[in-house]
Structures are given as structure tokens and as C-alpha cells.
A and B are shown apart, each in its own frame.
Chain A
């Protein structure tokens, strides 16, 4: 497909990486972040391989959202190194653009553009960032709206859709840019209970297709069935990380046990 070739070509001239093994998509090394005086991320080390599906959980204020928002530079880290698909995140705007092309993001509150139709939401970045002709962009937009099973809503405005539908549009909007990594920041926590399933089903389908995913969520059912790794954060640190089965059946730390006992 032409789009994929285009993106592959773009990857070829990516900047000289710090040596990492072939399939490492995200490499965070002793990352620290402060909000003013508040030390929100403390010495985070995390390596994500291609196709991995990682669930990050933890109490609120533990820094889990901040962690994934650092990966596409919605938040800036002050110390340490983040390398995404061979490109290091620095102040260089070229690197940031390069990484944002690779990384799609889905937000808690969807953040759809309310003044644009569903299809326009999907096509906008293809047209203005990828410089694609409108017609081609709309074909891709429709393809992904079909994939999240709401092609019939294409001409509506986000405000006319239910929360679950809006979140699926947000997922389609990210997928249109053909990212190699998807970040989910509590994608279901703003939804009514009966809509959570439709969003999770979409995410499960995405996981089965081999997408590299980082997901901040409290949906432990999702973590059990989909994740290869579960990370528990508290106080800005990664307290524990393990395969889901071991994580849930045999947590190592007291803080993890306490957290699990509260949410299960």
C-alpha cells in the first residue's frame, strides 16, 4: 500500500539511534519529571517491544498518565532519555514531529473536534500533515470508520454521538495516521458502563492485529485478556511489573496487594 511505503521511506531517514535491539519500540531510561517542585516521575525505566500490549495501572496521581504523555511529548521530561522507534525525544521539533507520526493517542475525554464531522475529524491530519488529496484521505477515513464499525455516522458531528461511539471515532482518527504505537489514556473511564464494552472490543480487535499498545486503564478484565505485561505505578515510580497472570494471582509488593484488593 502506498501510504505504508511512504511512511517506511520517512522512517529510513530517521536520526541515528542510540543502539537498541531491532524490535524495541519505546525505550525509557531513568526518566524523571517534575511539575514545578513536585517530582511526578521518578527514575522510570521501561522498554516496550514491537507488538507488546502493556497495561499501566495505579492509584490516581501516581504518574501513569504523565508517563504515557511523555512518550509523544504532550509532557516534557527533564531528565533521562526516551527513544521511540529509534528517534530520541529532544527539544528538536523535527524529532517531535517524527515521533508524533509514529504514535497515536486516545484520550479519556475523546477530544474530538466538535466543529468538524466525524469523517473530517479522521481526515484532517491526513490532509494537513500527510498532504494527502482529500478524496484519498476520505477513503482511508471511511476504511477505519468501518473498522471501528460506525461508517454510518461519518457525516454526523461528534456531539450527536454517544460516548462510546465518540471514543471509537477517536480511535479511528488515530489509526488513520497509520501509527506503529497506540497510547490509551484511560479510554473508558469517562464512559457510561453499557458503552465500555464496545470500546474495549475495538481495542481488543486492535491488539489482535499486532499493534504495539500502552494502555492506562482500570479495566482489569481487559488487562487479563489482552496485556502481555501489567505495570503498577505508585508515587511516580514503577512499583511492580509482571505478566498479567502472575501479577493478579501473586502480587509481590504490599502496595500492589492493597491496590488490587481495593479495585477487584
Chain B
């Protein structure tokens, strides 16, 4: 009987591994795919070189006025000269350190929350949530303990964008959760008022809300009451976004099986404990993409405040290129605005993906 000789391990054919294998599999797997690949390459060839030429190669970077921009490319001198206004609005230059300190403090406080091993994270987060807004408000507004007062009408630029969206994000999530729970409540009055609130705010465009808050509301207020315009816009944004948030959270709540409620009830957990310990942790995890989506929309929607005369990042940029000294540099301004917004939105999106992965670990269903 012939002896059995096992076959030696052979390397796979060169066409299926390495660079060639990857190209075949991903770019040229079928004639349609090949066509698309070639088309994409052609579009890149058409678009990229002129773009790089405009944005980098022929661009002007140094100088103090438009006279420095004579080479035909982008005039980044404009954004560089106006950079401080884009960041701080009309905030007095001597007080910039207060804005920097406030944001620096926030970053420093947040860092431990992102480190896995920090003890008492819950307490830390709670104290940041309760104390930080007070400290930040004092730093921004001043007016006491030796800090010069800065009117909210002077706040602007990226600072204002971040303040509006930060407040919007932090306030709309809890309000949205309460509204979502209210909408699923068995108590008719709670349920009805939640539905009315959500449907009202979802049915109105944000621009209308902002106009109402800045133009109409003062008419209804008693003579002489002063109600800060920024605060009014903030409340408008928060109420508007929490209605959207409520619907996102409700989607998560509906995905939790009835058995989870029953098990919690059978163990004697009260309604709020069932929600807080069992249902919400699972429901919120399910809708992280939707929540972050709403956050990103909110962040970009804050630019609408420019129509009621608040100078956020976009409004500052528009104001800058309508300045007679810099007329004609709108493209540079908008590209700069787009870049800043993209950095923040992309950051949020990546963070949400990381969070999903982290929370998914351990308990695959």
C-alpha cells in the first residue's frame, strides 16, 4: 500500500494577495467597479490639482492687508488677520484669557472622564455638570470679584458657537429623556402634554423660534423687563432640540423588550429605578448614533442665530468679508468656516463610534 504523503503548504497565487490582490478585490472586481474606479480617478485628476494649487501652492500666507494677496491663490492673510475675531467675536482683546481659561478648564476637567481607571467618575461628572456652568458664566460675563463685565452682545465667534451648542447639548438630552418618558407614560395628562410639546416644537422651523424669541417675546413681556437676547435664543434652541431628542430617545425606549420591565417589576424596582437602572442605560446605548446625529445638527443649526443679530462664527466671518478692506474674500471665509465646523462634527462622529464600540464590548446578545 502506498504511503500517504501530505501535501506541502503552498503560497497563494500572487494575484490574490498583497497590493495586486487588494486592487483586484476592491477596485476592479467587476467591469462596473472598474469603470467607477476609473471615473473616480479622473474626477480626482480634474479637481485635486487646481484645488491644491489654489489652497496651498499659489496661496498667500503672510502679510497684514489685502495688498499682500497678489499671487492669484487663496488669501489666507485674511483669515489670519481676522483670526481672533473669528474665535472671540467682539470680546475685548485684553480679556481673551478669560475665554481661553474657561475652555481650558473644561478640557482639563473632562480629560479624567475619558481615562478608564479614574475613580468616582459619576461624582466627577456631576460636579462638572453643576459647578462648571457657574464658573464658566462668571468667567465669560464677569462683573464681580474684580473681573470686568462683558456684555453678552460682545460674545461672538467660535466662542459663541461653542457656548450655544454646549448649552443646547447638555440641556436638551435630559429634557428630551423626560419628554420621551412622558410620551410613553400611562398618565393621560403627562402623556398629552408631552405629545403637545414635542409636536409643537417639531412643527416649527428653528428660524421662526429664534425670530419669536428675539422680536415677538419682548412685546409680550411687561414694560421695562430686560431679558437677555442670548439667553432667549439659548432657551429657544434648547426647547427646539429637546423635542427632537425626545423622539430619538423614544425610539430607543421602544426597542427594549417588555420582559425587561417585567423582570424589574418582579424584583420590586420602582418606576424611576426601572427606568434609570434597567431601561435607559440600554435604550440610550441603542440610540447613540441618533443622539450624536441630533448633536451635530444642533451644532450646525446654531449658525442660524446670525439672523437675530448674534455674531457666531459664521456671522463673524460674513461680517469680516463684507468689510471694505477685505471685500471679495468670501470663498476663503466660507472654506475656513467649513473647515472649523467639519473638525468639530467629525470629532463628535468619531467619538460616538468609539463609544458604541466600547459599550458594545462584553455583552453581545
Contact A125 B267 (CB under 8 A): yes
B185 to chain A, nearest CB (A): 16
Check: B117 CB closer than 8 A to any chain A CB.
no
Residues of A in contact with B, size category: 20 to 34
Out of B263, B268, B273, B285, which one reaches A113, CB within 8 Å? B263
Check: B363 CB closer than 8 A to any chain A CB.
yes
Check: B259 CB closer than 8 A to any chain A CB.
yes
Chain A residues, Cβ within 8 Å of B260: 111, 113
Check: A129 CB closer than 8 A to any chain B CB.
yes
Check: B71 CB closer than 8 A to any chain A CB.
no
Contact B266 A104 (CB under 8 A): yes
Which of the 9-residue segments A47-55, A80-88, A157-165, A236-244 touches chain B? A157-165
Out of B273, B282, B363, which one reaches A160, CB within 8 Å? B363
Contact B282 A125 (CB under 8 A): no
Chain B residues, Cβ within 8 Å of A73: 265
Chain A residues, Cβ within 8 Å of B257: 111
Contact B259 A114 (CB under 8 A): no
Take A124-B277, A128-B277 as given contacts and tell me if A111 and B262 are in contact as well, using a CB distance cutoff of 8 Å.
yes
Chain B residues, Cβ within 8 Å of A129: 267-269, 273
Take A111-B260, A159-B364 as given contacts and tell me if A128 and B273 are in contact as well, using a CB distance cutoff of 8 Å.
yes
A161 to chain B, nearest CB (A): 10
Chain A residues, Cβ within 8 Å of B265: 72-74, 100
What CA separation (Å) do A84 and B364 show in the bound complex? 38
B266 to chain A, nearest CB (A): 4
What CA separation (Å) do A125 and B266 show in the bound complex? 10
Check: A107 CB closer than 8 A to any chain B CB.
yes
Contact B365 A74 (CB under 8 A): no
Take A112-B263, A128-B277, A160-B363 as given contacts and tell me if A177 and B268 are in contact as well, using a CB distance cutoff of 8 Å.
yes
Q: Report the nearest B residue to A72, measured CB to CB.
A: B266
Contact A100 B268 (CB under 8 A): yes
Check: A230 CB closer than 8 A to any chain B CB.
no
Contact B259 A125 (CB under 8 A): no
B136 to chain A, nearest CB (A): 33
Contact A109 B363 (CB under 8 A): no
Check: B362 CB closer than 8 A to any chain A CB.
yes
Contact B262 A74 (CB under 8 A): yes
Check: A97 CB closer than 8 A to any chain B CB.
yes
Chain B positions 276 through 295: 1 when the CB is less than 8 Å from some CB of chain A, otherwise 0? 01100110010000000000
Check: A173 CB closer than 8 A to any chain B CB.
yes
A196 to chain B, nearest CB (A): 20
Take A107-B263, A157-B363 as given contacts and tell me if A115 and B282 are in contact as well, using a CB distance cutoff of 8 Å.
yes
Contact A114 B269 (CB under 8 A): no
Within 8 A of B (CB), among A81-99: 97
Check: A231 CB closer than 8 A to any chain B CB.
no
Contact A115 B273 (CB under 8 A): no
Contact A115 B268 (CB under 8 A): no
Chain B residues, Cβ within 8 Å of A105: 263, 266
Take A115-B285, A124-B277 as given contacts and tell me if A160 and B364 are in contact as well, using a CB distance cutoff of 8 Å.
yes
Chain A residues, Cβ within 8 Å of B277: 124, 128
Chain A residues, Cβ within 8 Å of B285: 115
What CA separation (Å) do A125 and B264 show in the bound complex? 8
Contact A115 B363 (CB under 8 A): yes
What CA separation (Å) do A63 and B285 show in the bound complex? 36
Check: A64 CB closer than 8 A to any chain B CB.
no
Out of A101, A109, A111, which one reaches B268, CB within 8 Å? A101
What CA separation (Å) do A114 and B362 show in the bound complex? 10
Chain A residues, Cβ within 8 Å of B362: 157, 160
Contact A107 B267 (CB under 8 A): no
What CA separation (Å) do A114 and B257 show in the bound complex? 11
The residue among A73, A105, A125, A173 with the most chain B CB atoms within 10 A of its own CB is A125
Chain B residues, Cβ within 8 Å of A112: 263
5 A–B pairs (Cβ distance < 8 Å), ordered by A: A104-B266, A113-B263, A114-B282, A157-B362, A160-B364
Q: Residues on B close to A: CB < 8 A?
A: 257, 259-260, 262-269, 273, 277-278, 281-282, 285, 362-365
- Beyond known contacts A111-B262, A113-B260, A124-B269: 14 more, CB 8 A cutoff: A73-B265, A74-B262, A74-B265, A100-B266, A105-B263, A113-B264, A114-B363, A115-B281, A124-B277, A125-B267, A129-B267, A129-B268, A129-B273, A157-B362
